[in-house]
Amino acid sequence: MKITRFCAVAIIFAMVACTKDKTDYEAEIATEVTEYVEFEEAARITVGDYDIGVEALNGTFYVGYNEVRVKVTDKQTGADMQVSSVTFLPIRKEEGGNTTSCPHRYDMNISTDENCFSGYAVFTDASRPGGNWELYISFTIDGQLYSVHQAITVEEQLNMNLNMTSFTGKDDEQYIIALVSPQRPKVGENELVAGIYRFEQPNSPPTSDFPDPSQFTYTEVSGYTLLLDPRMPEPSMGNHSSPNNVDLTQRDDGLYYGVVNYTMTGNWTLNFILQNEEGRILRGTEVPTVFTPGIEGVKSELYIDVLF
């Protein structure tokens, strides 16, 4: 089972290792990007006397980073329940029986202001025939544990500013980098936010009923640095960069923050070099600084394409 799961995870990393190709640049740049700020219910599950509402921005799960909220209410009255803990585990099931997960917050954080529990999921692929996602959720009320699961739909990511990539580092570990913000950049300096996650290969077989969370663990890497070099790679742009960019470093919420300066709208490549807490380069290469008009720009071996 361990070997099967490792192979399945490796397949997922191969599938998302490159960001989406831009086959129609002019059409894509003309597409207006919608910025979603409101949480809406994306799934509802009922167990016993309780309804579990799972919320996401726009009420939709997308490939890439998704902030998630879980609320538990009384099925009859709709009143919010006093829940002491919530766990959250997305599982992807493939034809042939392979199961994988994605970066997620298993033990969700309580949000007293919203009377809910908050977390995230970085879905690595859209739902499709032969490959579907299910949410496994457990919660505790008055010392009693309830467990539920339900299939969900994950849509393709239409906003290229929220692209993601995955790769194997020089330490032979598997990583995912997902853009979190901005959804809708402006010309000028933008705060750039990303999540960086490492898959923890299980060292032992499952010890509990499926799904054993120890078999599907991702960690938010700690103390890394993501060096940033944005370029405009189109031949007409000469792979030029911009000033005042700031490399991404980690803050208390586990995400990585920096600054990207987009000097104009268009097709940009975020070239990265990922360094661990000791300064060792795990992935990424420097991009030549020479201006190359008429030639498609060179990219780092670690990059994410964006467009706005």
Structural domain boundaries in the chain: 2-34+159-307, 39-155
Q: Which uninterrupted H or E stretch holds 1? A: none
Taking residue 48's Cβ as centre, other Cβ atoms within 10 Å add up to: 10
Contact 67, 114 (CB under 8 A): no
pLDDT given for residue 29 in this prediction: 56
pLDDT in tens, 58-117: 999 999 999 999 999 999 999 999 999 999 999 999 988 899 999 999 999 999 887 899
pLDDT given for residue 34 in this prediction: 85
Calpha distance 276→249 (Å, rounded)? 11
**Total-model pTM:** 0.89
Q: Which of 241, 190, 201, 200 is nearest to 221 (CA)?
A: 200
Q: Which of 172, 169, 159, 303 is nearest to 231 (CA)?
A: 303
pLDDT given for residue 156 in this prediction: 97
39-155 maps to which CATH number?
2.60.40.1940
223: left (phi over 0), alpha (psi -120 to 50) or beta: left
pLDDT given for residue 28 in this prediction: 56
pLDDT given for residue 255 in this prediction: 99
pLDDT given for residue 207 in this prediction: 87
pLDDT given for residue 19 in this prediction: 46
**Amino acid at site 261:** N
pLDDT given for residue 18 in this prediction: 43
Low-confidence residues in the chain, pLDDT < 50? 1-12, 14-23
pLDDT given for residue 32 in this prediction: 73
CA contacts within 13 A on the Cβ side of 241? 17
